[in-house]
Chain A
Amino acid sequence: MDIILNNKDNSNHKERIKIKEDTNIFINYANSNTELTIETSPNTSIRVLDTSKNTKNIITYNVDKNVNLIINKLSIDCSDTLTVNIKGKNANVNINNSIVNYKDNIYTEKFIHSKEDSRSNIVNHALNMENSVFRFIVDGIIEKNSSNTYFNQENQIINYKDGDSQILPNLIVSNNDIEANHSAYVGSFKEDYLFYLMTRGISKEESIKLLTRAFLINSMQLKDEEEKIFNDIINSL
């Protein structure tokens, strides 16, 4: 099943969706303050492609047992608040958020593991293009009943100019029988990378484009048509 979510007619609305079967969701909000809640059913696979722009959405996923949730997001100027409640055993969550930032934005995420044997892997990448503020605030919360849970968050912000970028990668763990990792990097593209590419005759501008594309979508396992959509966005930057 395919679901397309956008806000052509309404920039501020609430929406609640119940997923009953394997579903692809394409989210494409613009200039919106939407409250979106997605309820899953056990044993379903949900694949989300999010290309929203300039949003302050509040998005919540309630993840049931044996659910496989994959979110690939490439957004421009995003101050969303994302909450993923992992309420079911054997749930598997993979999230790749790539944000291109021009204005002042804070992107907030909360992942709450409340059942055992669940996994989540979160990759947050942002390019801060101007001298703007950008924050990733990422909370990984692993509750007492969540034995044998795996949680990983990897966060990076690349400053193109002198942006004020910050990452708060929090882990709040109430169970000893789990594995949890967090990492954060704020900086610029390595000079060595640019030098190497330029020694092969590639201009600085083109080298940065290659590195930008790699940074934004390399960690995503995209289907061909998804990759094309994301490449179009990157080429338009």
Chain B
Amino acid sequence: MLEIKNLNVSVENIKILNNFNLQIKEGEIHAIMGPNGTGKSTLSNVIMGNSRYKIDKGEIKYNGVKINNLSVDERARMGIFLSMQNPISIEGVQNSDFIRTAINAKEEEPVNLYEFMADMMRETEELKIPEEMIYRSLNVGASGGERKKNEVLQIKMLKPSFIILDELDSGLDIDSLKICCKNIKEYLKDHKDTSLLIITHYPRILEYIKPTFVHEMIDGTIVKTGGMSLALDLEKHGYNSK
């Protein structure tokens, strides 16, 4: 599904990713853990195509297609979804209008309004999001927890095939984290081919969504790969301890 080979990325001439390699197959759940500033969020932005990050070398393939030069929206329409660490708010862009526009951008036929609203109502209830948030401007006046839930709402509505969760657990209370993880797990259960890349500092989220592989990332590259035990080991002993 996702294949990253020898990826070198710089931001303002500072090298962030250094010969980074990663392969994620259909249905796999990968977690990347690492200290601050090691390039985890850079990785998620580069996969998504953020133009602030320059690929110096290497390639990213998604379902066999090299996506290095594709635009952000093209990658999203291929099925890649980035759940942001700090979801922004946009005054005046109504949440439901925005999500409907995003669905319509992906589909050949415009989504039926009645079915769309019924889906939105059901999913907001599942996520315990206040109903009025559907009609509010995107994330305006929303708490950190509501913003993260809104990201998960978008996952459920847009139905991506590859999801990056960039620090979903940051700024999220334990109850909201449980709700978000429960909804993501349900989504994965219904979409077995969907893969997940979890970027996190803490193993707590991995207790709710069990990873297939855990990677330790230091200085822009993966230095160790293991299972859940690696995540627990990293929490106990810190990064790059052995």
Contact = CB atoms under 8 A, between A and B. Distances in A.
A59 to B, nearest CB: 26
B73, B93, B158, most chain A CB atoms within 10 A: B73
Given A201-B73, A211-B90, A206 B50 contact: no
Contacts of B77: 201
A204 B88 contact: no
A202 interface: yes
Interface string B38-82: 000000000010101000000000000000000111001100011
A199 B81 CA distance: 7
A200 B154 contact: yes
A207 B91 CA distance: 14
A201, A211, A215, most chain B CB atoms within 10 A: A201
A208 B15 CA distance: 32
Interface size of A as a range: 20 to 34
A166 to B, nearest CB: 23
Interface of A is mostly: helix
Contacts of A192: 88
Contacts of A160: none
Contacts of B81: 199-200
A202 B73 contact: yes
B84 interface: yes
27 contacts: A192-B88, A193-B88, A193-B90, A195-B72, A196-B84, A196-B90, A197-B93, A197-B102, A198-B76, A199-B72, A199-B73, A199-B81, A201-B77, A201-B106, A201-B158, A202-B76, A202-B101, A203-B105, A206-B101, A207-B73, A210-B93, A210-B98, A210-B101, A211-B90, A214-B91, A217-B92, A218-B92
